[in-house]
Structure 1
């Protein structure tokens, strides 16, 4: 068995959520905000992958065979996606107000185009970029 240390720094975002630690498709443990745990990984998992997950999104996979005894892994949230992206969500109703207001600030066709580009970018970030919300860093 190999022993590794998992560390999650205190974060102002995702502070009420726990990060689920997966080995393969099995849950190994959970990390709360600011928590550090030492875990033992059984030898039967040496060819598996390691991943952190929160709700439907998570981190890139890390190969367990690349980890050595007493490695420390820092699991943190992506600051841009977790802090800045909600402000882009606030643009959705503002764009709607600009498009459908009685005083046409911008042309409706241009506004609808901007809204569609915004929606495609948002859906792309939530689906294609779903494995970039958390970061694993070997120390």
Structure 2
């Protein structure tokens, strides 16, 4: 059996959520904020990819073949998506001012900005949902 150590640094974001660690479709463990765990990976699961998950988002898959015995893997959140992305919600009222013709810019420009804003939000939670967490070999 291969042993690996998983470490989650203390983070100010996602501090109340635990990260699930998956090996293929099997849940190995969950990591709380600032926690480290050593786990053993059974030989029959050696070809499965390693992944971290939080709610519907997660990390990219990591191939276990690239991990050596007693490796240390850091599981952390993407700082841009977890810290900066919620601030884009503050843009929503400004887009409303532009869209409802308060003569800041033309209405067509306001509608275009609103559609780009919606596309960015939808793309973040669907297309880029596997970028919220990061797995790194330390």
Instruction: Describe how 1:96-107 pairs up with structure 2 within 5 A.
Output: 96-100=96-100, 103-107=102-106
TM-score, with normalisation over the residues of structure 2? 0.96
Partner SS for 2:53:
strand
Give the match for residue 80 of structure 1: 80
Are 1:99 and 1:105, in contact at CA under 8 Å, matched by a contact in 2? no
Structure-2 separation of matches of 1:128 and 1:94: 26
Distance 1:53 1:36 in 2: 16
After superposing on structure 2, the runs of 4+ consecutive aligned residues of structure 1 that deviate more than 6 Å are none
- 1:55 is matched with which residue? 55
Counting only pairs closer than 5 Å after superposition, residues 18-33 of structure 1 correspond to structure 2 as: 18-33=18-33
How much is the aligned-residue C-alpha RMSD, in angstroms? 1.0
Partner of 2:127: 128
Distance 1:90 1:123 in 2: 16
Which residue does the alignment assign to 2:67? 67
Residue 119 of structure 1 corresponds to which residue in structure 2?
118
State the Cα distance separating 1:10 from its structure 2 match.
0.2
Contact kept? 2:97, 2:104, Cα under 8 Å: no
2:37 corresponding residue in structure 1: 37
Conservation of the 8 A alpha-carbon contact between 1:45 and 1:64:
no
Aligned positions, number: 138
The alignment's TM-score, normalised by the length of structure 1, stands at 0.95
| Structure 1 CA distance for aligned equivalents of residues 46 and 60 of structure 2 | 18
Q: Deviations over 1:47-87 (max 9, x none)?
A: 10000000001000001122111000000000000000001
- Where structure 2 has 5 or more consecutive residues not aligned to the other structure, the ranges are none
| C-alpha distance in 1 between matches for 2:49 and 2:111 | 43
| CA displacement at 1:121 relative to structure 2 | 1.5
